[in-house]
Structure 1
Amino acid sequence: MPFYTKLSRSHPDDPDKEAVRKRTIAGIRRLRVALKDHFPDNTDRMKTVRIGTWNIREFGGNKYGGRDSYEPIYYMAEIISNFDIVALQEVRGDLAELHRLLKILGPDWDYIATDVTDGRAGNGERMVFAFNRSRARFRNIAGELTLPSGKKVLASFGERIRLEDGLSLQLPAGTDLSGVYRANSNRNSSGVVKLDNDVEIPLPTGARLDLPEGASLAVTRGTVVTRPPGTRGEVQVNVPQGAVAGEDFRLRFPGGALDESFRQFARTPYVVSFQANWLKIDLATVHIYFGSNEDERLLAQRRREIEQLTEALGDRASKEMKDDPKNPVLTAVLGDFNIISAEHETMGALEANGFEVPEKIRTIPGTNVKQDKAYDQIAFWEPRRNRGYVNVEILDANVFDFFDHVYRLDEHANYAPERSEQSYKTWRTYKMSDHLPLWVELTSDFSDEYIDACDTD
């Protein structure tokens, strides 16, 4: 049970503080009853492991005042205490809130975190695993997942070229591309705005690039050429006159000309190895690039990132199984995939390269507050593969809707009477989250199976 030390002290001389204390006590009581009913009571918790994933909105941020009291942290601790291992997304660079959460959870709890992901797409976030050391053990193996050369996550809508340092775009004479275009931008009453995303303007026929000094024509590796008689270290290359194009040729720009914004993942996945009872499991937590649900190109970017992730993790797991065909270690990926629905192509990308989402999770309508988007997922690599005495047995899975019990709509006047109902709905997601915690419970005791495997000729 979490340690709620601030609840023991009343505030007779401060009605506001006392109201928060009383409200928090009532909220924790409702949560405890609801969580007891939510989780299955027909499993032996000595033989199972419960793994969760939760995108906690801007955890460590200060929008809408941040989590400026102990109340939301206490509620989070009550929920998380029901897991053995939980992957957390959207943890900011400042870990003070995470440390507050771990202190409330108690001395049995620990965490492993990545550094902050740099770059705009990374959004200043960390990947975090929190775990109960009395229920699960860190196996001292952890690492950020990066992609090998040739398998980078390039932007599906094309790479940008920097028009600077001698590289310029020449438009046909008389062309004026100035005009009004659709764009996302921050509101500003003065009429001056700052773009949130690129504005892309189609180019007219006849536009061309003037190349900078130091550019070169590259004949690609694997192109068939001839060697002049009597020479060594030289080849004869036939370059078309006029327009040069085709798979045999590439332009080599000076360093820094390409704006390579999508070379690795927007937020680097984090792979950590745990053991719970007999179960050894490698967990990869992710927060996949979002972009937009309406822009087809950005959706394609999201799909590509998920595909590259499952390919890299699948290759890693396959190699380990090849080295040891009876390797009992499971591989799973969990987190915020920004998947639209179970039928969407983004789900197809997740269930590629050997990964499968358990049916108990696929049937969950959604993991956002409205429960109409399947953003968060948990998938296992080749769950039916023979791993000797270990097998993937999903006992149960679900999402927990905390807004049925705390920061409820009928408490609007108690929390933010000055706000509209819609504004209150947004405000409360910065106290708790706009995602619901998703969890799965697995069998973790394979002692009988191990003994049976030993008792063979």
Structure 2
Amino acid sequence: MPFYSRLRKSFRAGSAEEATRKRTIAGLRRLREALAGHFPKDTDRIATLRIGTWNIREFGNTKYGGRDTYEPLYYMAEILSNFDIAAIQEVRDNMREFLDLRQILGPDWDYIATDVTDGGAGNGERMVFLFNRNRVRFRHIAGELTLPDGKKVLASFGERIKLQNGLALQLPEAADLSGIYDARSLTAGSGTIRLDEDLEIPLPEGAVLSLPVGSALALTKGTEVTRPPGSKGKVGVQVPQGSVSGENFRLRFPGEAMDQSFKQFARTPFIVSFQSGWIKIDLATVHIYFGDNENEKLLAQRKHEIIRLTEALGNRAAKEIKADPDNPVLTAVLGDFNIISAEHETMEALQANGFEVPPQIREIPGSNVEKTKAYDQIAFWEPKRKRGHVQVDIRGAGVFDYFEHVYRLDERDTYQPQRSEGSYRTWRTYKMSDHLPMWIELTSDFSDAYIDACDKTEPSG
């Protein structure tokens, strides 16, 4: 139960502070009534585990004033208090708002967070798990998921080579690549125009790379070679004359010639192990690279990340099962996958390598505010696998639309009378979010099945 201590103190009648206090009280009443009717009513909460995931837009940023009063944080706390575990994405470097939220939730709530992810694609975000210690136990296992060599996420446009420090592209004589090309651009001040995306110009036949001093021809590990007689520590190599190519050959450049655009995930997935009742579960929260819904190459980048994610997590779970066939630990991944729809290829990528999105989640039309995009998802690895008495038994699932109860469209004149409806719609997403919280509830008590099995055990001797 959240602690709403700031609501006790009243202010002068007609003041902005008193209006905020009264408005927050009314909003909390509406939220509490709606939440009470939203979640399953016929379940014993002692015997279930409710897991939520919520991308809270730029949580900690100051755009549109940030969460500049306690009002939005009180609403968030009321929603999150209905979960046992909540995976939160888009928590920024400045955790002040998040820590205020946690204080409102009270001393029973704890959290585990990653550091922020550097780089433009990482957007300065961190992953956070909030959990109620009265309902869930942290199993002291946590880590960020990284990919091994050969399984890293390469950019969909291919690896780039920096043309500098002696590395140059030699064009055929009289070739001129200047011209007009399709590309996004933006104004950078003083009339300067800059590219807002990579521009790819096809190269004419005959273009070659001029390599800098210190470059080397590398033969890959495992290439078949010969051993000269009596020459310990030396090998004989056959290198084609003229044009050199083939799967065993690589070029090694001096210095940092490779761009290394996307070697790991844009935002590193975070895995934490929890226990609630009989359920031991490894939860991985993600915020998959977005790019662009219309750009095929950037969309492919998103798909590549999801495939590498499910592959890595699936291999990890399979390895643990192989080492211990009686391992009862569930593996699930949840968060913002930026999946366009249940029928899209990005959903196919998520449901690869043994992962399945439960029907109760797939039936949700959308988790964005407009409910048109299936960005947020929850998926389990091999949910039908026998794990002793523990199983994936889903008691309910859904998304909760808080904008039906707080920061409503009919309250625009109360909050932002100077804004148009479209501008108000955007403004309110920076008070709450542009994503709706998604949740799933699982059975966590399998005592009856265990007792029944014990009763059927034949006496020994």
The TM-score bracket by the shorter chain reads over 0.9
Residue-pair matches, total: 457
Cα RMSD of the aligned pairs, angstroms, is: 1.6
Q: Measure how far apart 1:189 and its partner are.
A: 6.6
CA separation in 2, counterparts of 1:194 and 1:280? 51
CA drift of 1:187 comes to: 4.0
Distance 1:204 1:338 in 2: 37
Instruction: Give the partner amino acid of 1:436.
Output: L
5 Å matches for 1:150-165? 150-165=150-165
TM-score by length of 2: 0.95
Q: CA deviation at 1:354?
A: 0.8
Find the counterpart in structure 2 of residue 307 from structure 1. Answer: 307
Matched letter for residue 45 of structure 1: R
Distance 1:70 1:185, change over 3 A: farther
User: Structure 2 counterpart of 1:74, which letter?
Assistant: Y
- Give SS of 1:440's match: strand
AA partner of residue 136 (structure 1): V
After TM superposition, give the deviation of residue 194 of structure 1 in Å: 4.1
Rate the CA distance shift 1:21–1:381 in 2: closer, same or farther, 3 A.
same
Structure 1 residue 454 displacement after superposition: 4.2
How big is the shift at 1:288? Answer: 0.6
The percent identity for this pair of structures is: 72
1:243-392 matched pairs, under 5 angstroms:
243-392=243-392
Structure 2 CA distance, aligned partners of 1:449 and 1:51? 23
Tell me the equivalent position of 1:439: 439
Instruction: Return closer, same or farther for 1:15/1:181 CA change in 2, 3 Å cut-off.
Output: farther
How far did residue 41 of structure 1 move? 0.6
* Contact 1:390-1:449 within 8 A present in 2 as well: no
Cα separation, 2, equivalents of 1:402 and 1:184: 36
Write the distance in 2 (CA, Å) between the matches of 1:130 and 1:354: 27
Which range is displaced more, 183-192 or 169-178?
Answer: 183-192
Alpha-carbon distance, 1:256 to partner? 0.9
d(CA) in 1 for partners of 2:164 and 2:453? Answer: 66
Could you say which residue in structure 2 is the equivalent of 1:80?
A: 80
Name the aligned partner's letter for residue 77 of structure 1.
Answer: A
Q: Offset of 1:32 from its aligned partner?
A: 0.9
The one-letter amino acid of 2:31's match is L
Helix, strand or coil at the partner of 1:259: coil
Q: CA deviation at 1:14?
A: 6.0
Q: 2:197 maps to what in 1? A: 197
Q: Cα distance, 1:326 vs. partner?
A: 1.3
Instruction: Give ranges in structure 2 of 5+ residues lacking alignment.
Output: none
CA, structure 1 residues 412+286, in 2 after alignment: closer, same or farther (shift >3 Å)? same
Question: In the alignment, what sits opposite 2:139?
Answer: 139
Q: Deviations over 1:76-131 (max 9, x none)?
A: 11110111100000000111111100111111111100011111111111100001
Contact 1:388 1:453 in 2 (8 A): no
Does 1:179 find its partner at 2:179? yes
Per the normalisation by structure 1, the TM-score is: 0.96
CA distance in structure 2 between the aligned counterparts of 1:23 and 1:192, rounded to whole angstroms: 47
Structure 1 counterpart SS, 2:117: coil
Q: Who is 1:31 aligned against?
A: 31
- Separation in 2, partners of 1:310, 1:349: 8
Structure 2 CA distance, aligned partners of 1:44 and 1:36?
14
- Cα drift, residue 317 of structure 1: 0.9
Q: Is the 8 A contact 1:169 1:210 kept in 2?
A: yes
AA aligned opposite 2:42: N
CA shift for structure 1 position 183:
3.1
The Cα shift of 1:451 comes to 2.8
Q: Which residue of structure 1 aligns with residue 125 of structure 2?
A: 125
The AA in structure 2 aligned to 1:222 is G
1:108 equivalenced with 2:108 (yes/no): yes
Relative to structure 1, the CA distance from residue 162 to residue 14 in structure 2 (aligned partners, 3 Å threshold; closer, same or farther) is farther
Once residues 154 and 188 of structure 1 are traced to their aligned partners in structure 2, the CA distance between those partners, rounded to angstroms, is 29
**Distance in 2 between residues matched to 1:255 and 1:181, nearest whole Å:** 32
> CA contact under 8 A between 1:389 and 1:453: conserved in structure 2?
no
1:99 aligns with 2:94: no
